Copies of this chain bind each other. A is one copy, B any other.
Amino acid sequence: MSVIGEAPNAHAKIKTYHHDQISIDMHLLNKITLLLLLSSVGHSFAQPLRWEKVASGIWMTKAGNPDSVNFLTAGGVKPKMTAINAMPDVPFPLSEGEISYKLVDGKVYLRFPLETAEKIFGLGLNFKTVEQRGRIMRLHVDHYGGKDNGRTHAPVPFYVSSKGYGVFINSPTYIDVWVGTAVRKDSKNPPQVRDRNTDKSWDASPYSDNVEILVPAHGTEVYVFGGPTMLKVVERYNLFNGGGCLPPRWGLGFWHRTPTLYSDKDVSAEVAEFKKRNFPLSVIGLEPGWQSKSYPCTYQWDSQRFPEPAKFITDMNQRGVQVNVWLNPFVSPESELYGPILPFTASHTVWTGVVPDYSLPAARNLIASHFQKYLLNMGVSGYKMDENDGYDEWLWPDVTTFPSGHSAEQMRQLYGVMMQKMTAELYRKKNLRTYGLVRASNAGATSFPYVIYNDYYSHPDFITALINSSFIGVLWTPEVRGSATAEEWLRRMQTVCFSPLAMLNAWSDGTKPWSFPEVEKQVFDVAWLRMQLIPYLYTSYAEYTFFGTPPIRAMNLEEGFTSSTEAVAGEVSSAENPYALAIKKEIKDQFMVGNSLLVAPLFAGQKERQVVLPKGKWYDFYTGKLAGEGEIITVSGLDKIPVFVKDGAIIPMAQNTDPQPGSSAKVDLEIRHYGTKNGNYKLYDDDGVTFNYENGAYSWREVVVSRKADGRLTGSITQVQKGKPDSFGKVTWNFMSR
């Protein structure tokens, strides 16, 4: 009941209970500290927060007494201060007086203002909605369960406002957020009182002028990010989280995962089939059966299915294919790792495996050595880290204790982040980049080379997740597994080829890219288009790394995109909708890839769809023809996924592709220009596989397309400085909208 308001720099966080006696265990007396306790029952008073500027356009405050464990410490995040401070400065984007903070029963209550018509984005990897105003969430790492209620693979406690600012709660706890739903009695802008009996404009969700946040911890750091645009807010957030990851170039190629019990010979035959069909393949993924035991895991090769793993991997590499392996966190009693790791594991087991406390250096070192021995040293390129998210049934309960003393709740929120950090560092030590998959992520993991995936399998919702990933500093793949029809198969393949990780995951279904002969050609085409786009995609990732710009992103982050969200009045129905709840209609099925491509997938059964083109002229990617200008157009067709290009855009495309790491073969470029405007572009290049770019071994090559005196377009590209990596060969210019 005690409610104690507290200034951020006060150091007393205290509570008392009413008892006549104090009885304590005497042998603990040497641990005793004297403290003054406030008895303050039933009081609740707000205290102002003191904001400290930590970088250009970024402010921090401490509400209460934060724990030392948070997203930034768990992720070992090094903010990219130079890049942030190179951004234009902006003033504190909110009225400080309208932000309120209280400590109640040892929990932090926060309130931020909302203006009329202000829109809120982010707050985790949501699958059904892009705008979050009007929603109530408990941010909780979990499998996505079909509702945007905060339980998801990356419930990042960060939101971006259409007013051009962002708020980040740096607490790895189950944070409750009321996004424009809570209405205070003392609201400055109270909703109108209406009578449901007779007033047709009665609303089941009255207007709320705030975001309220309950952090179940005795304190938390809170960050505010300035813009002025939403994209700038996101860039600042991403840079503050260490900047986006830069995958190895091969990571942007085509991935295929084989059925779980495939042997080395089965995999080899599958790869041969890809080669025979000239289907691109950069990475082959091995599912649980590579291990001697899985669920729980040994992280050791099965001697039957993979008798000579090093040889197998070398063979794969020689065929231009990287090997990625599945694992989950739970260690089998039959693993060599089991005995040593046992003291550093949780009180509970999952699937009979012990749960390492990844926050302990001793645990991490043991796992690192084991992975080094069985995986890295044999040439494994990376991991698919499964089941570090939930469901509750398949994770440790919240009554679990960990040897580090971190709570099960903190461990749940951070486990994916910590696994990413540990494994990313393993590769960094070898000066090799990795790229892989993870099921759980969160704030603090932006710089880690992992893409989120899940079991959920709605194609439209997969696109919405792709859009939402761009607000919260994570990557998402709408992986393809199976399909009911050839049409669905193609539609899904088209989408995944315009995503952070183009993967067919056949672990259970045994599908192949050519499983639907009716659309084999179209699938082949879009997979190769993916390969051709690697120079463009890789540059987009470099922008993510250097400038925090999400490589794939929501239309809402695009300048000139205006789309009003319609609230359609709901019909009252005693069975279906007793409160006549309004239904929100919003654009959640088109997105940007890099700065210039607008992708608008169709879904199985859709004969046509509408595409909202932002301001300016947009051109058809395939033909270069004008598609529209700041308008809504209708598109159709099965063979090709609709893609539109910004006026003046420059798209560098590979003419021959060689995703083999370390290859010295040059890739010839076709540089496309679309529209009528002059084009300016910076093409990123480095060695594609190491971290040498962090020490300057990279270049941004200036690409310019301009109109000559005779009206004809002409292109130029600067040379790579001597001594720096130079991946590209011959350049061909293609002015698409001539």
Is A195 an interface residue when CB atoms closer than 8 A count as contact?
yes
Q: Mark A392-416, 1 if CB is under 8 A from B, else 0.
A: 1110111111011111000000000
Q: A397 to B212, Cβ gap below 8 A?
A: yes
Which residue of B22, B38, B193, B332 contacts A11 across the interface (Cβ within 8 Å)? B22
In the complex, the answer to whether A37 meets B41 with C-beta atoms within 8 Å is no
Q: A16-B33, A347-B184, A394-B204 are in contact. Are A28 and B40 (CB under 8 A)?
A: yes
- B44 engages A39 (CB within 8 Å): no
Question: CB of A206 within 8 A of chain B?
Answer: yes
Interface assignment of A583: CB less than 8 Å from any CB of chain B: no
Q: Does B183 contact A352, Cβ atoms closer than 8 Å?
A: yes
Q: Taking A22-B36, A36-B24, A136-B397 as contacts, is the C-beta distance between A347 and B185 under 8 angstroms?
A: yes
CB < 8 Å: which of B15, B193, B400 contacts A333? Answer: B193
A673 within 8 Å of B (CB atoms): no
Instruction: Assess the A509–B574 pair: CB atoms within 8 A.
Output: yes
A389 to B41: give the CA distance in the assembly, Å. Answer: 27
The reply to whether B197 and A288 form a contact with Cβ atoms under 8 Å apart is yes
B104 engages A407 (CB within 8 Å): yes
Residue of B nearest to A23 (CB): B10
Report the minimum CB–CB distance from A190 to chain B (whole Å). Answer: 7
Question: Which residues of the partner chain B approach A191 to less than 8 Å between Cβ atoms?
Answer: 352
One of B17, B394, B404, B509 near A579 (C-beta < 8 A): B394
Once the chains bind, are A32 and B39 in contact (CB under 8 Å)?
Answer: yes
Within 8 Å of chain B (Cβ to Cβ): is A214? yes
Chain B hits for A3, CB < 8 A = 401, 405
Q: Say whether B23 contacts A28, CB under 8 Å.
A: no
Bound form: Cα–Cα A490–B360 in Å? 63
A42 at the B interface (CB under 8 A): yes
Cβ of A1: which chain B residues have Cβ within 8 Å of it? 67, 69, 405-407
Query: Which residues of B have CB within 8 Å of A29?
Result: 36
- A32 and B21 contact, CB distance less than 8 A: no
In the bound complex, CA of A1 to CA of B173 (Å)? 13
**CB of A551 closer than 8 Å to a CB of B:** no
CB proximity to B under 8 Å, residues A59-85: 65, 67, 69
State whether A295 and B196 are in contact (beta carbons under 8 Å apart), knowing that A205-B393, A575-B457 are contacts in the complex: yes
Q: A17–B186 Cα gap in the complex (Å)?
A: 34
Measured between beta carbons, the chain B residues less than 8 angstroms from A351 are 196, 204, 206
Asked if A106 meets B104 with Cβ closer than 8 Å, knowing A33-B37, A455-B578, the reply is: no
Interface-side segment among A174-182, A612-620, A631-639, A687-695: A174-182
CB distance from A108 to the nearest CB of B (A): 10
Give the Cβ gap from A230 to chain B, nearest Cβ, in Å: 26
* Cross-chain contact A214 with B399 (CB below 8 angstroms): yes
Which one of A38, A455, A575 has the highest number of Cβ atoms from chain B below 10 Å of its Cβ? A575
Q: Is A105 an interface residue (CB 8 A)?
A: yes
Question: Which of B104, B182, B403, B508 interacts with A397 by CB under 8 Å?
Answer: B182
Asked whether any CB of chain B lies closer than 8 Å to the CB of A218, the reply is yes
Most chain B CB inside 10 Å of its own CB: which residue of A34, A197, A401: A197
A31 within 8 A of B: yes
Q: A530 at the A/B interface (Cβ < 8 Å)?
A: no
Question: In residues 658-677 of chain A, which contact B (Cβ within 8 Å)?
Answer: none
| Cβ–Cβ < 8 Å partners of A398 in chain B | 176, 214
A260 x B404 contact (CB < 8 A): no
Residue A309 interfacial (CB < 8 Å)? no
For A455, what are the chain B residues with a Cβ–Cβ distance below 8 Å?
574-575, 578
CB-CB under 8 A from A17, the residues of chain B are: 11, 13, 65, 218
Given A354-B185, A398-B176: A12 touches B24 (CB 8 Å cut-off): yes
Cβ contacts A283-299/B at 8 Å (1 or 0 each): 00000110101111000
A205 to B193, CA, bound (A): 50
| A556 adjacent to chain B (CB < 8 Å) | no
Minimum CB distance partner of A64 in chain B: B17
Other A-B pairs beyond A9-B23, A182-B348, A182-B397, 15, CB < 8 Å: A3-B401, A13-B17, A24-B36, A44-B401, A104-B399, A176-B397, A183-B348, A184-B348, A186-B347, A195-B332, A197-B295, A213-B399, A505-B574, A508-B573, A509-B574
| 7 A-B contacts (beta carbon < 8 Å) | A3-B401, A11-B20, A24-B36, A31-B39, A193-B334, A197-B294, A212-B397
